[in-house]
């Protein structure tokens, strides 16, 4: 008997605890439900059969918005993405403008590579004839400008006066300087007289001439007595008269 009473008392204790826990859960829910219903009842207005508003005031004129429809700063609000037909207040996001892309400029073509540097050999310098109007002058210049000789020595200056009588005697006569440079002999003696006379005149007008006046006289008198020495000395005089012989 004692054990059965203990068992019944334990069952009753569990039932009591279960009932109390159920009441703790149901009571707040019922309170929230009653509060919601009361709030709805407070805000509910039955429709007026005489055309009044739901709040009990007679409706004589439709609500006015000062002659203009509701404005949302000049831009109508589109329906909300959530649907439902009801338009709650929201922020209107205008459609984004596509970004403007600048077309790329065409690539600049690269310049072709420069050809490899080539060294062009320079030909050896060849002696050039001097300015015909600048000393030294050639034999032809003196021969065709007798007034220049006359201004320098006198037109009738004989050959013996500049080289001496021994040198003039090989010529066969005592010609003037113009006649000596106009001689048509083709041997070495004739060339020696022509080029030697021009070298003598160049030594008087050009201080940088390769031969001095005395050297010209001595060379003519030494070469006129030899058929081999005369053409060789005449060739040296000719190079000097063209400016091809220079002092180093």
99: in domain: no
Question: pLDDT per residue over 132-164, tens digit each?
Answer: 668 899 999 999 999 999 888 877 788 899 999
Residue 82: name the closest of 90, 74, 94 by CA: 90
User: What's the average model confidence in pLDDT over 78-93?
Assistant: 52
Beta strands in 13-143 (DSSP E): none
Going by the DSSP 8-state scheme, the letter that residue 68 receives in this structure is: S
7: in domain: yes
198: in domain: yes
Give pLDDT, residue 18: 76
pTM as predicted: 0.48
Q: How many domains does the chain divide into?
A: 2
182: in domain: yes
Going by the DSSP 8-state scheme, the letter that residue 94 receives in this structure is: P
146: in domain: yes
Structure tokens at 158: 């004989």
Residue 203: name the closest of 127, 154, 129, 135 by CA: 135
Question: pLDDT per residue over 22-41, tens digit each?
Answer: 776 565 555 555 455 444 44
Measured CA to CA, the distance from residue 162 to residue 180 in angstroms comes to: 12
Question: pLDDT per residue over 188-225, tens digit each?
Answer: 999 999 999 999 999 999 999 999 999 999 999 999 99
Q: Give the percent of the chain with pLDDT over 90.
A: 29
Do 98 and 106 form a contact (C-beta atoms < 8 A)? no
Measured CA to CA, the distance from residue 234 to residue 177 in angstroms comes to: 16
Would the pLDDT of 56 be above 70?
A: no
Structural domain including 33 reads 1-38
154: in domain: yes
Q: Report the mean per-residue pLDDT for the chain.
A: 74
59: in domain: no
88: in domain: no
């Amino acid at each position: 008997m004692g054990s059965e009473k203990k068992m019944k008392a334990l069952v009753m204790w569990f039932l009591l605890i279960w009932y109390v826990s159920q009441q703790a859960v149901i009571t707040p829910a019922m309170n929230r439900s009653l509060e919601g219903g009361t709030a709805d009842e407070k805000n509910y207005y039955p429709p007026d059969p005489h055309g009044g508003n739901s709040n009990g005031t007679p409706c004589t004129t439709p609500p006015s918005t000062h002659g203009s429809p509701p404005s949302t700063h000049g831009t109508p609000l589109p329906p909300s993405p959530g649907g439902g037909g009801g338009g709650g207040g929201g922020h209107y996001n205008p459609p984004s403008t596509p970004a403007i892309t600048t077309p790329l400029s065409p690539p600049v073509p690269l310049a072709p590579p420069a050809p490899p540097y080539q060294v062009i050999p320079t030909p050896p310098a060849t002696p050039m004839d001097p300015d015909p109007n600048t000393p030294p002058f050639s034999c032809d210049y003196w021969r065709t400008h007798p007034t220049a000789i006359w201004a320098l020595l006198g037109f009738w200056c004989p050959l013996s006066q500049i080289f001496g009588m021994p040198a003039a005697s090989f010529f066969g006569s005592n010609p003037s300087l113009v006649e000596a440079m106009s001689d048509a002999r083709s041997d070495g003696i004739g060339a020696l007289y022509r080029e030697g006379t021009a070298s003598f005149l160049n030594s008087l007008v050009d201080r940088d001439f390769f031969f001095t006046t005395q050297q010209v006289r001595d060379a003519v008198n030494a070469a006129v007595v030899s058929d081999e020495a005369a053409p060789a000395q005449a060739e040296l005089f000719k190079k000097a008269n063209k400016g091809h012989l220079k002092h180093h």
